[in-house]
A and B are shown apart, each in its own frame.
Chain A
Amino acid sequence: GQSLEQPSEVTAVEGAIVQINCTYQTSGFYGLSWYQQHDGGAPTFLSYNGLDGLEETGRFSSFLSRSDSYGYLLLQELQMKDSASYFCAVRDLTGGFKTIFGAGTRLFVKA
């Protein structure tokens, strides 16, 4: 089967750095994505890792280790507007094209 695990909640202060981890189990792994979703809004794409290593996009970075079935999203210089839910999602090619989302990590940024 397919499963993803990520922490349910993380709290950090403005200006700090926070790391959200994601471990996955899937047979047809094809890449790991990260999405942000504010309350009442739609998920928005943040980052993608198809190969091992670090991808950097502004204040956000994402890392993947396929041998460890592990990835993380790193948010730097936290701002209040970063308070949202963050989802890791794996692309799985078992039996067709599928995108499997984790349950999400709720990030609270405090002043």
Chain B
Amino acid sequence: DAGVTQSPTHLIKTRGQQVTLRCSPISGHKSVSWYQQVLGQGPQFIFQYYEKEERGRGNFPDRFSARQFPNYSSELNVNALLLGDSALYLCASSLGADSYEQYFGPGTRLTVT
């Protein structure tokens, strides 16, 4: 079975631009979470979606938004990019909203110049 997939793998954007990152969960998983990981730090929770509804939100500005589609795939959008948004963005899927075991995708490396 395919694992969690994310696209694109790498992305370079300019300050002020907008970016959309995509995630496909493992088949049968209905929950998707998004994380931001800066080098040398742990993943920082951004959002969790379950059954197309937002179930949890971390301490990120409103420039960050996400949605989940009927097929349970998800998009993370970041507007008005700042240099500090440069990071690895990880998507994790799990069976349900309260599932403790999360399966991470390979991530999207975003560089903002």
Contact = CB atoms under 8 A, between A and B. Distances in A.
A102 B100 CA distance: 16
A100 to B, nearest CB: 6
A97 B106 CA distance: 22
B68 to A, nearest CB: 13
A22 to B, nearest CB: 11
A42 interface: yes
Given A98-B56, A103-B42, A48 B104 contact: no
B25 interface: no
A88 B4 CA distance: 21
Contact of A99 (B33, B40, B103): B33
Interface stretch (B11-19, B43-51, B69-77, B78-86): B43-51
A103 B44 CA distance: 9
Interface residues of B, number: 27
A95 B56 CA distance: 7
Contacts of A44: 104
Given A42-B90, A96-B55, A96-B57, A101 B45 contact: yes
Contacts of B90: 42-43
A96 B46 CA distance: 12
17 contacts: A30-B98, A42-B90, A44-B104, A45-B101, A48-B100, A48-B101, A50-B100, A87-B42, A96-B54, A96-B55, A96-B56, A96-B57, A97-B56, A98-B57, A99-B33, A100-B45, A101-B45
